[in-house]
Amino acid sequence: MLAVCASAAALAFLDWARIWWFLPIAAGSYAFALLGYVAAKRRWRGWVLAHVTGQCGSYIAMLTALLVVNWQSLTGTRGVESPWAWMLPTVIGTPIVTWVNYQVRRGKRPKAWLERSGRREA
């Protein structure tokens, strides 16, 4: 993840006028990934929620960059100018992350833990 974000930042600096927006997306993506990583390493109370949010938030940020870059090929309009290209991954991904976190809070996820502990889903 660090390599992907560093290369995105380097590309942003090389062509600042066109792809300046790579830098904030790279920083946000790395921040989310770092949250997920640190949560899994430190394992504080409620760490699974932070881990899921961090990993999924990083993925949503990378998908946003991918969609903005390729939006013109898909629709014919520039992705940087389209609010749909910027919002679509978040609009789709956030309810999924919320649902998974809800399942974790209820004790239904992750399934591997349920199997190891002998608990069964209701």
Q: What is the mean pLDDT of the chain?
A: 90
pLDDT, tens only, 68-88? 999 999 999 998 999 999 999
How many CA atoms, within 13 angstroms, populate the side-chain half-sphere of residue 67?
Answer: 18
Q: Is residue 44 part of a domain?
A: yes
pLDDT, tens only, 34-68? 999 999 999 999 899 999 999 999 999 999 999 99
Q: Is residue 111 part of a domain?
A: yes
Counting the structural domains of the chain, the total is 1
Q: How confident is the model at residue 122 (pLDDT cuts 50, 70, 90)?
A: very low
Residue 100 lies in domain: 2-117
Q: Is residue 122 part of a domain?
A: no
Cα 59 from Cα 35, distance rounded (Å): 13
pTM: 0.84
